């Protein structure tokens, strides 16, 4: 069951996200430097868009996740601690923007946008565990295991992963996509051939010299698969055509790769305070990254090229995907 009473205690939830967007977008008005046909990006109010969509996602998560008072309270508090810790909500925003590009509704896309965010947050909780990246800071706060202990942190991740599939069960079938296809989409992206495969390759690559090709394999799975899944699910919620789904897949794939390269760049160029997570971890763990293999400047060029490919994938939407274009541009220029 995901329809639950709303929790009146969480008035402050999500405030971090909104403050972040306001700060970022006031400092850096959207400018079009990549990808050509960009009038719609210049005109698009990304700040307003993200403020509204982030608030909608936070309200939905607050309503659909078990309340913090539900027994056993510890696990529900831990789930909520991480999910409302102030993440950027990029995956749900991409999911909702994809739905809109295909003429869908917020209402139909929201359960899937929330499902992807639950999977993403679970992966961060587990990634931070001592057995994985062993990190103390996430989303500007102490990591789950630091606050709740390792056992509860593992279970909070497990519970969020499970909740994602309960949310996916709310998918309203249209003419083209069944619930089964939606569940398989989510399971495919989160499973041992994609998200977990990327994490395995990442763990096994630590301290080893790996090629750019192997690094791309990791990025495609660890990061790009879930972003691609987010936009595909948005399209599916809108009963998109096969051609639209293919364009969204292409877009999500390239945006996802660019996202991880920028993440690697930020790891070496920004502070922990700015990122809300420990900076410099990749180098300390001797992880292969694009900056380590090809240098910072070339990494920036590759991220810009990938973003250009993402813009190209949107051309078939003929200007009807301004939010997706603005998000791709933001993801390239972000500093957090
Ligand atoms: C199954 C035990 C077990 C662990 C799985 C799959 C996994 C652990 C970890 C995923 C690997 C991972 C953390 C990939 C990084 C993707 C990435 C760049 C995350 C940061 O995303 P942002 O910047 O974060 O969107 P916010 O906090 O803003 O949501």
Beta-bridge partners for 9: none
Q: Where in the chain are the domains?
A: 17-335
Report the candidate in 256, 231, 226, 259 with the shortest Cα–Cα distance to residue 245.
Answer: 231
Per-residue confidence (pLDDT) for residue 206, from 0 to 100? 87
Residue 196 Cβ inside 6 Å of ligand 1? The answer reads yes
Which helix (H) or strand (E) segment holds residue 132: the answer is none
Per-residue confidence (pLDDT) for residue 179, from 0 to 100? 96
Of 83, 120, 161, 225, the one to substitute when testing ligand 1's pocket (max ligand atoms within 8 A of C-beta) is: 120
Residue 222 Cβ inside 6 Å of ligand 1? The answer reads yes
Other residues' Cβ atoms within 10 Å of the Cβ of residue 33? 10
Cα Rg for the chain, rounded, in angstroms?
A: 19
Mean pLDDT of 50-58: 98
Summarize pLDDT for 92-144 with one digit per residue, the tens: 999 999 999 999 999 999 999 999 999 999 999 999 999 999 999 999 999 99
Q: Which atom of ligand 1 is nearest to the CA of 196?
A: 6
Beta strands in 239-298 (DSSP E): none
Mean pLDDT of 179-192: 98
Q: Tell me: pLDDT of 263 over 90.
A: yes
Task: Give the tokens for residue 233.
Answer: 């699910």
Per-residue confidence (pLDDT) for residue 195, from 0 to 100? 98
Task: Give the tokens for residue 131.
Answer: 């057995």
**pLDDT band, very low/low/confident/very high, at 42 (cuts 50, 70, 90):** low
Per-residue confidence (pLDDT) for residue 100, from 0 to 100? 98
Summarize pLDDT for 295-311 with one digit per residue, the tens: 999 999 999 999 999 99
Question: What distance in Å separates the CA atoms of residue 22 and residue 92, rounded to the nearest whole number?
Answer: 18
Which helix (H) or strand (E) segment holds residue 89: the answer is none
24 and 334 Cβ atoms separated by less than 8 Å: yes
Of 118, 128, 130, 199, the one to substitute when testing ligand 1's pocket (max ligand atoms within 8 A of C-beta) is: 199
Question: What distance in Å separates the CA atoms of residue 42 and residue 49, rounded to the nearest whole number?
Answer: 14
Q: Which atom of ligand 1 is nearest to the CA of 124?
A: 13
Pairing of strands 137-138, 141-142: antiparallel
The CATH class of the 17-335 domain is mainly alpha
**What pTM, to 2 d.p., does this model score?**
0.89
Q: Tell me: pLDDT of 181 over 80.
A: yes
Q: Which atom of ligand 1 is nearest to the CA of 120?
A: 29
Q: Which atom of ligand 1 is nearest to the CA of 91?
A: 25
Report the candidate in 297, 327, 296, 333 with the shortest Cα–Cα distance to residue 310.
Answer: 327
Report the candidate in 104, 89, 78 with the shortest Cα–Cα distance to residue 52.
Answer: 89
């Amino acid at each position: 069951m995901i329809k639950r009473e709303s929790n009146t205690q969480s008035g402050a939830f999500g405030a971090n996200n909104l403050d972040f967007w306001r700060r970022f977008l006031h400092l850096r008005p959207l400018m079009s430097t990549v990808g050509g046909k960009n009038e719609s990006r210049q005109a698009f109010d990304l700040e307003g868009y993200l403020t509204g969509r982030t608030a909608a996602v936070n309200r939905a998560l607050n309503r659909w996740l078990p309340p913090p008072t539900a027994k056993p309270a510890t696990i529900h508090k831990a789930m909520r601690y991480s999910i409302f810790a102030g993440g950027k909500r990029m995956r749900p925003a991409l999911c909702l923007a994809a739905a809109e590009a295909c003429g869908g509704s917020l209402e139909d896309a929201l359960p899937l946008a929330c499902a992807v965010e639950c999977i993403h947050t679970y992966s961060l909780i587990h990634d931070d565990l001592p057995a994985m990246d062993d990190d103390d800071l996430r989303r500007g706060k102490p990591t789950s295991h630091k606050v709740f202990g390792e056992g509860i942190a593992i279970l909070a991740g497990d519970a969020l992963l499970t909740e994602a599939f309960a949310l996916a069960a709310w998918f309203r079938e249209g003419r083209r996509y069944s619930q089964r296809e939606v569940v398989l989409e989510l399971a495919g992206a989160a499973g041992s051939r994609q998200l977990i495969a990327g994490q395995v390759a990442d763990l096994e690559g630590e301290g080893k010299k790996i090629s750019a090709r192997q690094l791309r394999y990791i990025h495609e799975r660890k990061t790009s698969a879930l972003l691609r899944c987010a936009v595909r699910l948005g399209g599916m919620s809108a009963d998109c055509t096969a051609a639209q789904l293919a364009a969204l897949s292409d877009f999500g794939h390239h945006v996802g790769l660019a996202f991880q390269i920028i993440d690697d760049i930020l790891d070496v160029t920004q502070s922990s305070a700015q990122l809300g997570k420990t900076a410099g971890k990749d180098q300390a763990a001797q992880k292969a990254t694009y900056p380590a293999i090809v240098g910072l400047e070339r990494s920036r060029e590759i991220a810009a090229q990938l973003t250009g490919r993402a813009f190209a994938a949107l051309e078939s939407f003929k200007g009807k995907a301004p939010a997706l274009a603005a998000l791709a541009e933001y993801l390239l220029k972000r500093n957090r």
